[in-house]
Amino acid sequence: MSKDYKGIWPVMYAFWGEDGRLDREAMKRQIDYCIAMGVHGITVHGLVTEVHKMDVNERMHLVEMVGDLIGGRTQYAVTVAEPTIKGQVAFSHAAARAGADFVILQPPAIKGITQDNLIDFFGSVADAVDVDVAIQNNPVNLDVSLSVGSMIELNRRHPNIGILKGEGFSIDIETVIRGSGGAFKVFGGHGGIEFPALLRSGGVGLIPAPDYIAGDMQIWRLWEQGGAANLPLIDRIHAEMLPAIVFMSRSVPAMLCYGKRLFARQAGIEEVHDRAPFVTPTEFGLEELVRFEAMLARAGAPESLAA
């Protein structure tokens, strides 16, 4: 790989204007807020980016917009979910032109695809692009995923695939890290629901929704500064964040409804417009956001939890 990737790389929400189009000003506020928090990179086109509600032209437009708004201030990763090898290669080339440091390949949504065919699919894309390559393995939210053994075999056959967005069980992630001899740089996901375990297993960072950035950054700094010696405080910060993380992890539609609004409150984005189909927030749900916001503020100020 061309760079040493690590740290916190939040996945950008898609903010829409009243006209139903992507809202550049709200996207700028989001990116500026995350960069001001000290993130190590910005990611786009994860599940929270609502890629399932965009056509390919909108997805490419957003890749170019985010690259322009980053303006070289931090690193950049783009998830690629086109259904064919040719499509993923073309989109990866375009992402690289827009400034992406690496691409995150999603598996094709073909139920029943064999593990060997999945390895060949990812390998064919990786061998045809001139940008660093990650694989997203999400057995919770995606219909297709690699087994632990297949992830190790993928790296053996295609050593240029050296980054993994691993969103399964922390035990499986540790097995991949150990079984591949550390060949994979593994980032966790799922909002960091097992973030301390990921760090202990040898993971190099987190690719979360941006809702929890303050706490995620505190955990990362404490880990870099003191490693296992700081685990008691890391665990207290993580425990403060967990109710919000679990709430948002119930479903992707719930995250797009409530998680986006929770983040908007933090980033000073005053209006959130939804693109259909969407979940309408309830009064109780919005009240929960106020409670979560207070929890996340405490997580972002570890001195309040140090005792």
Q: Which two tokens stand for residue 284?
A: 């109780």
What is the predicted pLDDT for the residue at 49?
Answer: 97
Q: Is 207 annotated as a binding residue?
A: yes
At position 186, the amino acid (one-letter code) is: V
Sheet containing 7-8: give its strands across.
7-8, 205-206, 185-188, 161-166, 132-137, 102-105, 75-80, 41-44
pLDDT in tens, 57-99: 999 999 999 999 999 999 999 999 999 999 999 999 999 999 9
Buried b (16+ CB within 10 A) or exposed e, 221-234: bbbeeeeeebbebb
CA-nearest of 122, 45, 115 to 77 is 45
Thinking of the domain 7-301, which architecture would CATH place it in?
Answer: Alpha-Beta Barrel (3.20)
Separation between Cα atoms, residue 7 and residue 115, nearest integer Å? 30
- SS3 at position 163: strand
pLDDT in tens, 268-289: 999 999 999 999 999 999 999 9
Sign of the CA dihedral with 212 first, then 213, 214, and 218 last: positive
Listed by start position, the domains of the chain span 7-301
Q: Which residues pair with 7 in a beta bridge?
A: 205
Cβ–Cβ contacts within 10 Å for residue 107, how many?
20
Q: Is the pLDDT of residue 307 over 70?
A: no
Q: Is the pLDDT of residue 147 over 90?
A: no
Q: Which residues contact 171 (CB under 8 A, 6 or more apart)?
A: none
Against a cut of 0.85, is the pTM above it? yes
